[in-house]
Chain A
């Protein structure tokens, strides 16, 4: 009976280690799946066709595989989102880190976090049914499915993410720097602009990279409000909805686009980790 203990201990440790190993297996599955299909794709299609063609029409009789239109769509919506989230998130971070009283912080911070908890399908629906018509009143030429509306809504969605990490970056700036600046006669605004923000720059860059990565990978908002083939994620969702027969070049475009998306978000995430 007593001799059983060490055996149980080793079994438990092996089991737990296996669980940890499963997480590696998950990544392996991800990478292997994409690598496999991408390799098979490039057996049929040359990289030049993907890099140098300007039309994305993989499902047609005369297929064209230029990835730039999809990439451009993703970049446009991401930039729009960041353009919204950067000022709003930074100023909220400044407010929470530098200007708000502890009492305000206690209720404000969780309230802002609620924004991040709204399901993305709700944001997408909001973009399609409320934001797009409102924008159409200002820009009558705006088509019902466009990239402006989801871009702006995504900006609101990633604002709390950016704001939260930016706030961490600001809080991490040692108080000594602030006190020194104030002691030298600068007011709070100058301290903020000339001392705190520059000191927090690496953390702020990390926050930006992470927020951009999140916007890039967002699917539901663009799938509903931007239409198919507007961005990389919308394309993946659209083709997934239909059923292009597997084992075809057209099907493999899913994985090529997925691989590009993975590479881009991975790069951004790595940049973010470096800065924290």
Chain B
């Protein structure tokens, strides 16, 4: 066998291996999705979306969990977005390269890599016990906000960085103060990118169950939360609870809950991708 022939065989082998490597996870994902959807199908109907949990699996519904998740991420966003975007603006527009700025940046990179379950520990100790908020919506939102904060900061920072320098200089040359320049020139241009970051952080908060588990999940909650101090449940928590019950019918309910969760996340991520594309085209 000539060297050329054996080497092209090697190349073909590599190609085959690569295609397999790309296809295998996608195949696994398809099995996951199909498996979950098939299991969920008998349970997925309007009644499921509108009713609350029940000891009868066929009556179990996701309504309070869905609204709980909605309230939770809305509060989380309200907490994390202003702080996160503000921090990103500070780092990008005001801080310069000094020691303080570098400390904050290292700090944010560290926070972004912390396993989510540890935020639950902090939330338990600080918000639930020390501050005394108990197992309420407020504790959950504060904990998830801590988790979402580094994501928002990093994404907002990227969006701000992408704003062309000329725009800033033009604004300042026209006599604007720094804040006027940021508010009226930089932010509007960076807005789609920042929004993408907010959506990504929100979708991350939506799917996180681990910190909420550690906070102490209340198992049977049949009403959506009504205020800061309400007990609450969330989509991934309700799914976890159903998945823990051995009856097959509850496995179907859990699968249905996962379908709702995945569809919501898919829509959020699609929105983020559309916005990201629009931002790129605008920048081009």
A residues at B contact (CB < 8 Å):
5, 8-9, 12-13, 15-24, 26-27, 29-30, 33-34, 37, 87-92, 94-95, 99, 108, 110-112, 114-115, 117-126, 128-130, 156, 159-160, 187-190, 192, 210, 213, 216-220, 223-224, 233, 236-237, 240-241, 243, 246, 254-255, 258, 261-262, 265-266, 269, 273
Contact = CB atoms under 8 A, between A and B. Distances in A.
A18 B100 CA distance: 12
B113 A265 contact: yes
29 contacts: A13-B90, A15-B86, A16-B90, A17-B90, A23-B111, A23-B149, A27-B111, A29-B122, A30-B122, A87-B21, A99-B14, A99-B15, A118-B265, A121-B239, A123-B32, A125-B239, A126-B36, A213-B113, A217-B115, A217-B116, A219-B115, A224-B240, A224-B243, A237-B117, A240-B214, A241-B216, A246-B129, A258-B118, A261-B118
Given A19-B87, A87-B21, 19 more contacts: A16-B89, A20-B95, A23-B111, A27-B107, A91-B17, A92-B18, A117-B266, A119-B258, A121-B243, A122-B32, A192-B14, A219-B117, A219-B210, A236-B120, A236-B121, A240-B214, A265-B114, A266-B110, A269-B110
B177 interface: yes
B273 interface: yes
Interface in B207-224: 207, 209-210, 213-217
Interface stretch (B4-12, B165-173, B190-198): B4-12
B28 A156 contact: yes
A3 B177 CA distance: 13
B220 to A, nearest CB: 14
Given A120-B207, A217-B116, A19 B243 contact: no
Contacts of B47: none
B25 A112 contact: yes
Nearest to A34: B121
B124 interface: yes
Q: For chain A, what secondary structure do more than half of its interface residues adopt (helix, strand, loop), or is it mixed? A: helix
Contacts of B119: 30
B103 interface: yes
B36 A156 contact: no
A38 B147 CA distance: 22
For B119, B121, B126, B236, the residue with the greatest tally of chain A CB atoms inside 10 Å of its CB is: B121
Nearest to A159: B25
Contacts of A111: 26
Contacts of B126: 29, 33
A34 B114 CA distance: 13
Contact of A216 (B21, B115, B258): B115
A244 to B, nearest CB: 11
Contacts of A159: 25
B210 A243 contact: no
B110 A27 contact: yes
B50 interface: no
Contact of A122 (B36, B111, B121, B129): B36
B248 to A, nearest CB: 10
Interface in B105-152: 107-111, 113-122, 124-126, 129, 146, 149-150
B210 A94 contact: no
For B29, B129, B216, the residue with the greatest tally of chain A CB atoms inside 10 Å of its CB is: B29
B216 A243 contact: yes
A256 B26 CA distance: 38
A37 B124 CA distance: 12
B265 A119 contact: yes
B255 interface: yes
B18 A94 contact: yes
Contacts of A95: 18-19, 21-22
